[in-house]
A and B are shown apart, each in its own frame.
Chain A
Amino acid sequence: MPHALSMPSPGFQAIILCGPGSSFPTFTANPDENPKALIPIANRPMVWYPIDFCYRMGVTNITLIAPPSSAPAIQAAMNTNPHLTGLPLPKPDVLSPEGLDQNTGTAQIFRLPEVKAIVKGDFIVLPCDLVCEFGGESLLETWMIKEAGLGGVGGDHQLGAKLAPAGGKRIQRGGLGVWYETKGENIVKGEETDFIATSPLNTGSVPPSRTSLLSHMSKLVYSVPTDTLNDITEDKKSLPIRHSLIRTHSRIRMLSSHRDAHIYVFPAWVLDMIDRNEHFDSIGEDVVGWWAKAGWQEGLGDKLGLREVFANADSTAGDDNLLENGPTDDIDFTALSSTWTSNLQRTQTSDKLEIPPILAYIHPSKPTQKNPTVPLIRRVDTAPLLLSVSLQLAKLESIENLGRETPSPFAHQSKIAYPEGIASKTTVTRPDCLLAENVTVEEKCSIKESVIGANCQIKSGAKLTRCVLMDGVVVGKGCKLTGCILGKRSVIGEDSVLVDCEVQENLMVEPKTEDKNNNLMSSEGMEATEEEMQDSFAGEEAIMDAGEGAA
């Protein structure tokens, strides 16, 4: 859908939250200098992915929110990292509100005055660790059809009149979230999951178009992280489900292996709701969870102060509201259908608070005939996920090979950026490897299914299988590394054998180390000194020279 890219964005702004990365203990031991947002995934800094996602869906008003302590590092990277500087204009802003530290909850962020000041209208919230191949424009399109009333085929009869002219009380727009299956082709152990319950949307008599996401859309009625759910079930020995939920929604689908992608499309009033409810701590758990519940629990909406929220929003409707201009005749096409049976029971109407729905897009995990390949959506917040996603992205064909029409937005220009650096008598399996600029590989090496960052050196005889190397790593002679993640500028001594290990940045691993399933981190004193680092740089240069000489 190329035309979708050029769709003007109706006042959307994207907020990308750059958190501390507490689940990467090996690589974010010092989150101020090495923020999680800058950890490379397939040789691009993590934050590149959500920013790119925004540009792809036509949102250019992007703000990164980072704690003041780590903001300088991110700002510096924005200005210097070749991937980040290569993004189109206008550049994202970096906002570091004063009250924000590494432990602030995601909902608390939206109560900070600096953040409130910049959020003007409907907004999108993204995490910095999102890898989303899937195009957000179709999400926004669906949201606009269902919630902003552009399509006219509004599902629920009561909520059909979102475009009702001013005068009467205008019904508020809903939100949208994205969930993906964790137990797909690539299962990563220990990935967090969320338990959600959804109810299908009233599809109406007009079938949605083939490209529409409507068939995967449903209404979120309950959401809780699986850990919290386990606490509940352990406590009660059963999973209690309220009758009022069952009565309101006659068909409830409960998914326990999906995960919240943390992509939220929120209408502006959500900011007000977060503001009013001091106890909302995180967006995923509290804001979305309570909102979903308020949809069917009578009285909960009032308790959350939504009545006042809506009253406010009505009186101060923003200028960027494109719905205000131009009368649109609001026809509920579903009501015109003549193929309904009469109902013996009359539905009662009352002065109930209508809670706008929060839609859930459940990303299909299995390929269908319509889409033979499933676009990737993953949150990369643990090391195993980093490994798995990096390797998955490494398998993408390069733009060089495929030309401009490459299907994936994440394809690199070439699989091996610097072919001159590869010695002749060495094996690099091109289809599943990705080697960045200035990587030198000496003779008799074997590199399979690996991602290697810029300026790495692989000495002769080293064997790398399913490894991710960040920038500037030196792998000594005859090393055998399998399933490892090596941090920036780490050095692996000769003849080491490491299996499923994580190596912290700047760490020197002694020669002949053998280890398995371990996180190699520096304790104090073992950290590489400035001098050693200089040395290693010097060595690096020397080797690079040598490599060029060889080429």
Chain B
Amino acid sequence: MAPAQKSKGPAGKGAAKGKKPASAGKKVDDDREDALQAVVLADSFETRFSPFTLEKPRCLLPLANTPLIEYTLEFLAMSGVGDVYIYCGAHTAQVESYIQASKWHPLTSPASPFHTLEIVKTTARSVGDALRDLDARDLITGDFLLVHGDLVSNLPIDTALAAHRARRIADKNAIMTMILRSGGLGSHRTKSHGITPIFVVDPTKNRCLHYEEMHPLQADKFVNIDPDLVSTHSEIELRTDLIDCGIDICTPDVLALWAESFDYEVPRRHFLHGVLKDYELNGKTIHTEIVEDHYAARVFNLQSYEAISKDVLGRWTYPLVPDSNLLAGQSYKFERGGLCKENGVVLARTCKAGKRTVLGQDTSIGDGSVVANSIIGRRCQIGKNVNIQNAYIWDDVVISDGSTVDRAIIASNAAVGKNCKIHPGALLSFGVRIANEKEVKAGARITRTKRKLESEEGVAQAVSSEPEIVGEGGEGYEFHDEDEEDDEISTLQSNLIYSTAHLNISSESISTFSSETSGPSIKERSRTTSFTGSITSDDDPNSTNETFHHDAVAGLYDALKDGGDIDAAKLEFMGLRLSNNASDHQIRRAIATAFAKHIAQLVENEKLDAPKAAAQAFGLNGAKKFLEEVAIGMERREEDQVDFLVCLQKDLAHRWSGATVLAAVCQRLYQIEVLEEEAYLRWWADAEALGEREGKIMKKVREKTKVFIDWFEEAEEESSSEEESD
């Protein structure tokens, strides 16, 4: 990571500011038609496919019996890509061995359309980290395609690429072209549910002006558009009908921008939003290519998994359909009624394998069973009188006699007992066994993954099965995701069936007559805000005041990194606070993030010991005063101190060697008398009291601080015993 850090400065600045020396040489590059490069983000660093992704990476999950990455690579091959770089997060080894055995790897398969295919190993925790890492590696020489490893598309990119290149030659600042598929005006199954992306586009120039996401849980029920955009662009379109397939044609400048903003994590909500917002500063423009034909979509959650499976069965994705036999050894044939069958399928005489169904090799279906609108993998055994509708069943699954499966996903090697009922939305992960006569309730997520327990050794242990879920003799337990519980939004995305029924969504206000019109108002002001209701007075810390956080952290972090003037940073910080009307909590969170980040970077890049790094950071001129005045406040209230500690803990929980840093930071803050003993003890007690609810990661990060807390407690005991002895 050390070279990454170093190259960031010059590379980033060079691209953003004086591009003159670079552009002369680059001109030649642009005109030359060299092989296109592509970057595949095989892991999106999300948990939307839990529990399946606990054991297998998302890009290897089968969609219509073909792993997702096959579709993506097929798309890249069609687009004429020469070099492919695949970024993996979890389960890199599985992806690597899969790719090496596939037809794609140029070293093992002479028929591969690619020049190079490289799996980049990284410790990245987010898309942003991966791209910053890519920037440091200098692999990218020209325009490249950035896609996700879950893309299904039969779209020819020629026109988009040509348009991008034309724009690029006309204006060096046109750094990126996003390909978006228009999804029609009505509702569409492949559109995103829950979180709706909003693209604000100038249709005359195909330029994206603003990006935002909307979901039903937002406190702020408005999309705020910069009035300058309205005055400078006489026509603007606000589009929520677009299906974002995540195909971006980028120039290397995009990587430089990622590198400059270390807080960007995801490509849309952070990067796109941020770059567009900072247009005044960086002058970069991002364009859109909105296509009306062809198919392009991403399998980004289970709802889209279902929708895209249906699209594949409906042959919208042709030629990416089962009977094209994308994988070596597949032998699907398309039969009447949309049935796709491989060789060696055994169908009993009285079973009905109905419409739009895919059956893999050696699968057998027993007498009297009905299968419709479903996908069944290889070597599955479907018993007698089984009813399967709209289900996605992977390989080697056994479904015993008399069971019913409706709109569920059953992963490989799972087994369902006799006369079971699997209700809509249920997810059975790898190897789960459901005992006979059991009903699996709607929306249940059952796994039998070994889970790391919180013991010191971190040895994986199987969690005991929960008989109330899987029945006597079954195997598996209900999966709970700690991260998810903090965050109701992600639950909208992680279920197979989208529903907001369980959520308490506040009713929206409607216009009152008093707003901006000349007429007298009707006496009904109780319906809260007017059309242009207040938008800034919202001091709910969970609301999306991410701009403040981002800007504040960036400013402070830079000051710390340069070892510079904390007082100046403080002024800027207070200015930001006033202009954003940030709450005290937000301020503490921002400060904690900036310091934690800086110290973690020192530890990671300069190989400093954690205590030394902490001493260096907090020893900066003015740092102590800043913390005392701004982060904690002059009253030195205990709650504020505890809050600051929690912020530190939360931030460090996700950083490399977070636990060590937290211990060192705690010690140092006590030494320089920023935080007091009582605050530490209360923080620790609060955390302990949370118990299971605290979450694995949060617990782990504070483990190493225990020694320090123990020391307090001992000291206290000593002092109290001393008092007693007096």
In the complex, chain B residues whose CB is within 8 Å of the CB of A300:
510-511
> What is the bound-complex CA distance between A255 and B519, given in angstroms?
25
Interface set, chain B 662-677, CB cutoff 8 A to A: none
Given contacts A240-B535, A243-B222, A254-B238, contact A279 B522 (CB under 8 A): yes
B238-260 CB mask vs A (1 if < 8 Å, else 0) is 11110000000000000000000
Q: Is the CB of A254 within 8 A of B193?
A: no
Closest residue of chain B to A197 (Cβ to Cβ) is B238
Partner of A280, one of B188, B231, B235, B519: B519
Q: Is the CB of B227 within 8 A of A237?
A: yes
Q: Is the CB of B224 within 8 A of A297?
A: no
In the complex, chain A residues whose CB is within 8 Å of the CB of B240:
246-247, 250-251
> What is the bound-complex CA distance between A343 and B306, given in angstroms?
12
- Interface pick from A72-80, A94-102, A130-138, A227-235: A227-235
Nearest CB in chain B: distance from A148 CB, A = 23
Interface set, chain A 86-123, CB cutoff 8 A to B: none
CB of A392 within 8 A of chain B?
Answer: no
> What is the bound-complex CA distance between A233 and B224, given in angstroms?
10
Q: Is the CB of A251 within 8 A of B238?
A: yes
In the complex, chain B residues whose CB is within 8 Å of the CB of A200:
185
CB of B479 within 8 A of chain A?
Answer: no
Nearest CB in chain A: distance from B198 CB, A = 6
> What is the bound-complex CA distance between A252 and B201, given in angstroms?
10
Q: Is the CB of B510 within 8 A of A286?
A: no
Nearest CB in chain A: distance from B316 CB, A = 8
Nearest CB in chain B: distance from A285 CB, A = 7
Closest residue of chain A to B303 (Cβ to Cβ) is A344
In the complex, chain A residues whose CB is within 8 Å of the CB of B227:
230, 233-234, 237-239
A55-79 CB mask vs B (1 if < 8 Å, else 0) is 0000000000000000000000000
> What is the bound-complex CA distance between A253 and B236, given in angstroms?
6
> What is the bound-complex CA distance between A183 and B204, given in angstroms?
14
> What is the bound-complex CA distance between A255 and B224, given in angstroms?
16
In the complex, chain A residues whose CB is within 8 Å of the CB of B531:
240, 242, 293
CB of B508 within 8 A of chain A?
Answer: yes
In the complex, chain A residues whose CB is within 8 Å of the CB of B185:
199-200, 202, 250-251
CB of B691 within 8 A of chain A?
Answer: no
Partner of A238, one of B224, B234, B235: B224
Nearest CB in chain B: distance from A362 CB, A = 10
CB of A34 within 8 A of chain B?
Answer: no
Partner of B221, one of A243, A252, A299: A243
> What is the bound-complex CA distance between A137 and B473, given in angstroms?
77
> What is the bound-complex CA distance between A242 and B515, given in angstroms?
14
> What is the bound-complex CA distance between A277 and B513, given in angstroms?
10
Closest residue of chain A to B238 (Cβ to Cβ) is A252
Interface set, chain B 496-521, CB cutoff 8 A to A: 498, 508, 510-511, 513, 516-521
CB of B721 within 8 A of chain A?
Answer: no
Interface set, chain B 55-94, CB cutoff 8 A to A: none
CB of B314 within 8 A of chain A?
Answer: yes
CB of B225 within 8 A of chain A?
Answer: yes
CB of A523 within 8 A of chain B?
Answer: no
Closest residue of chain B to A234 (Cβ to Cβ) is B227
Partner of B306, one of A278, A289, A297, A344: A344
CB of B196 within 8 A of chain A?
Answer: yes
Closest residue of chain B to A231 (Cβ to Cβ) is B516
Q: Is the CB of A241 within 8 A of B508?
A: no
Q: Is the CB of A246 within 8 A of B238?
A: yes
Q: Is the CB of A286 within 8 A of B517?
A: yes
Q: Is the CB of B310 within 8 A of A342?
A: yes
CB of B218 within 8 A of chain A?
Answer: yes
In the complex, chain A residues whose CB is within 8 Å of the CB of B203:
253
In the complex, chain B residues whose CB is within 8 Å of the CB of A229:
230
CB of B223 within 8 A of chain A?
Answer: yes
Given contacts A195-B230, A250-B241, A253-B235, contact A241 B225 (CB under 8 A): yes
CB of B186 within 8 A of chain A?
Answer: yes
Q: Is the CB of A236 within 8 A of B532?
A: yes
> What is the bound-complex CA distance between A116 and B306, given in angstroms?
57
CB of A347 within 8 A of chain B?
Answer: yes
> What is the bound-complex CA distance between A279 and B514, given in angstroms?
10
CB of B454 within 8 A of chain A?
Answer: no
Could you list 5 A-B pairs, sorted by A, with CB under 8 Å?
A232-B516, A240-B222, A254-B236, A303-B510, A344-B307
Besides the contacts A250-B241, A256-B231, A256-B235, what 5 more A-B pairs have beta carbons closer than 8 Å?
A238-B535, A246-B223, A279-B522, A280-B519, A293-B531
For the complex of A and B, 3 pairs with smallest distance between CB atoms? A279-B519, A233-B227, A257-B234
